[in-house]
Structure 1
Amino acid sequence: MFTKLVIAAALAALPTHIMAMNNGLAVTPQMGWNTWNKYGCNINEDIILNAAKAIASNGLKDLGYNYIIIDDCWQLHQRDNKSKQIVPDPTKFPRGLKALTSDIHKLGMQVGIYSSAGTYTCGGYPGSLGYEKVDANAWAEWGFDYLKYDNCYNEGESGTPKLSYDRYKKMGNALNSTGRPFLYSLCNWGEDGPWNFASTISNSWRISGDIYDNFNRPDPACPCETYDCNLAGFRCNLLNIINKANAVSQKARSGGWNDLDILEVGNGGMTTEEYRTHFTMWVALRSPLLLGNDVTNMTKDTKDIIMNEEVIAISKDKQFSPASRIWMKGDQQLYSGSLENNATNVILMNTGEKSVKITATWEDIFLYSLPHVNTKKSIKVRDLWLKKDLGSFSGHITLDVPSHGVRMLKLMDTAVTTD
């Protein structure tokens, strides 16, 4: 108890400027829906408004999926000559964007917009480099609440953390100067180690290249397997991103999160088991949960994954840290993270091609507890995907884990005690 109090007091005494943006947003990782993974550039007002209506009516909003984010290709290729503002494409958005944000706000949700910290966006539309105040003021006037800020065509203003920090901070300052709260999400693909600087200026930051809807297929477009490679690439498979996230997981904290990219659940490139693993690890590593599928037409399997209240509750838990990977033994992995009310989140993961039995000992699960939990005590275990209590276990637990699958557990009453 004394140790916990000392740590809490030390954290409280840290200067506030190191704790994310201090804007009161993303206290837990943001949740919502983004246009890109399903629709790419083929977006319009009807697609976005219909998605928002579906989220409001089918129970997703009540679970916390609150942000509707318009990604790239919403704009014309030329800025307005007089105002210098980026112009919404009138074919895609005949009423403009202010009317759309108003309609979504009336549904009880908030709205996000996209740009790039470069001359152009990744889709070749006007970027915001050099126009930060103009664009931030326009988005505030149009009623936006969230900015996803990409990294394409950055004019060489990257390559060191200071260059990236300065470039992204300009937009953060511009958003703050509008007087409107903006959740600020950096999308610089892990370049220049944003986990070391972005928490002072933003609410989340991408840690890898773009996700690809595949479990483990290597792709030359995503050549790096480790977090410290400055060639982010794209078409990164699920395991590639998870491996990169593990090394920087403890850089996240309330108000500032490692972003593992938009969810692919429901888009068809993976099996149901793989999608369950996908969602589990995004939750356990405390990534934002941004749906990227067609939310107006979902299978039961997709709904069961993205609407599991017990799993989502882990994402909303106010506990400080994401789960840590305790060990990796071949195709088997063990993760553990503390939760509120003296509980512990445990993930048994099998990346292999066959179902296996995985054993996790209390010594391993509570490896980073200070001091260790009593490793002899009997602990109640609940399976969050089965939504079933498995009983009480002493010293260890052994469970079958399917190929490319996980068992996501909640251990109750794991209060810190000495042996």
Structure 2
Amino acid sequence: AYTEWRQRYETWKDWSRAEAEAWQEEQLRRIITLAATRVPYYRERWKRVDWNAVHSAADLPLLPCLEKQAIRQNEQAFLVEGLSPKSLWMDRTSGSTGTPLRIYWPLAMFPKWWALTEVMVRGVAGVGQHMPRAMLGGRPIVKGDTSRPPYWRFNRRWQQLYLSSYHVSRDSAAGYVAALRHYGSQWMTGYGSAIAALAESALETGIPPLPLQAVIVSGDTLFPGMRSSIERFFQGKCFDHYGQSEGVCMAMECPRGRMHLIPATGVLEIIREDGTPCAPGEVGEMVATGLLNDAMPLIRYRLGDYAAWARDQECPCGNRQPVITKLEGRVDDYLVTLDGRKIGRLSTAVKRSPTIHSAQIVQDRPGHAFLLVRPAEGYRFADALAVRDDILERIGVFDLEIVEVAEIPKTLRGKTVLVVRLADRPQMRPRYARLLKL
């Protein structure tokens, strides 16, 4: 199945915009019918909605938007009726909001997903799974208080080096780079903030550059300074990739630096606060309808991110699919430890407790922060302690105070971010000063 789908996606790379839209419309009608007739949530919610009138992306505003919290309250109501539990795989994701979700996927879909990623993401960067690679992401590799290398593990079967993002520092950079050389990593993927931290630490300590074929980053915002550091040290192009565990919208940066949507994953809308479509160049909320998940369809799903359609949709790279720009909303602040380490992407720690509605970490000074917890049904203080202990296991010695709150404060754009460093967000300090009595 994987080989068949990979061959199919290789031909789809050359699709025109019209060919991609025609395919999307066919799949959209199929997924809408599936949701309306076999998914309890939509069948109930759409009783007064003319879902039969949805034939294209332009018709999607006839349907209501879907909030993350609706899924979290009863994910079983989003499952297609009649499926065997043995045919499903469950993934937990908290995303940038800190709100845990459980997403179910049909196991039969994975060859399609792997082929899509290989062709539409890795292939764009000129790399592939056949090449030794490294990953520097949020997966805990060693305990947070580990003070000596190795801070990594190697999967020989897949030739993949897993590196801890929680132990990168000037002192450890030489060991990380030596491991990359030893295992022959030819490309790297992971969080842009973590890879940039490694590159910057290596550059600052005078370690000779390590040439890689490419670096593909995702999961947090790639700032220009991060890209510059990555490309200086690894001497290859850094590609930005947009996606989420829900798998409803993906985009990949092309060699010319423009972010192209991958139509096979879903249909994207960019809308204003009143729900009307944004004009080219106008920043709005991203709302996506997934086309891959036949077990748990997500229709008009609010991603919590912001973007704009590029005014110029022509790209010299040859990819004729839509271009988005001004991608916002994935800013992932990091914590600063007393010894100067920068620890980011702590969202996975929140996955362990479904009784916590949402959470946020607010740092007021190095080595100290507050863990804000908004309780949900069935919550116990022990649940917050478990989350705190999980975080501390990743980062080591750190003073993290638990504070239960009725609401998690939002940014000026109305978003909830997981980590807030008040030193970098002075406009938010008055709000937290009242809440935390700073």
| TM-score using structure 1 length | 0.27
